[in-house]
Structure 1
Amino acid sequence: MGGPNLEIFKFSLYLFVPIVALVHFGDPEWYRDTVVPYRNKLFPSLDRTIQHIPTDQSGIREEIARIKAERLAKRVQREAEDNGPKP
């Protein structure tokens, strides 16, 4: 069919494509310039995440109560803004 030249070309392609990909995508500068900004857009910052997850039942109940209170406060504030003075 293709002969030995085709086999050499295919072998070199199979060998060099992964090497070139590793060299390009493994560069720390490329990672810092491309991946880190996208990661910051995709995932919330550490101050917005819960760092200590409660393990006992009382801690879980307190956390649920805190979350419900925050949601209720936001809802009341949103309703107050919606029912505010109208021209």
Structure 2
Amino acid sequence: MGGLNLEVFKFGMYVMFPIGIMYYFGTNLDERFAVPEFWPKPEQANKVPFDRDEINTELQRLRARRLYLREKRLENEARQAPPSSGENQEGHGS
């Protein structure tokens, strides 16, 4: 069979292979695997309001946006809905 030299070689491979993989993939992570412009810049991110006036301003903005979107949705629903007349209603009455 192989003998002592083969066993030493196998042991060295068992120990060094994971260490080599960790060294290869563990160094220069920022340069190798970083995606440029992945995280938003601070001026692009949302700012959490802490002051009472800022909170009220943000609530008014959100309320106006919600009402605007509701108006648009109702207009679209009114445009798409066919006018309903009392005719051709199956399963009701008589």
Pick the TM interval, shorter chain.
Answer: 0.5 to 0.7
The amino acid that maps onto 1:67 is L
Residues 1-80 of structure 1: pairs in structure 2 closer than 5 A: 3-22=7-26, 26=29, 28=31, 31=34, 35-36=35-36, 39=38, 46=44, 49-50=45-46, 52-80=47-75
Alpha carbons of 1:30 and 1:67: their partners in 2 closer, same or farther (altered >3 Å)?
same
Q: How many residues end up aligned between the 2 structures?
A: 74
Alpha carbons of 1:27 and 1:63: their partners in 2 closer, same or farther (altered >3 Å)?
closer
RMSD: 3.1
Relative to the length of structure 1, the TM-score reads 0.60
- Structure 2 alignment gaps of length 5 or more: 1-5, 83-94
Q: Which has the higher helix share?
A: 1
Q: Which has the larger radius of gyration?
A: 2
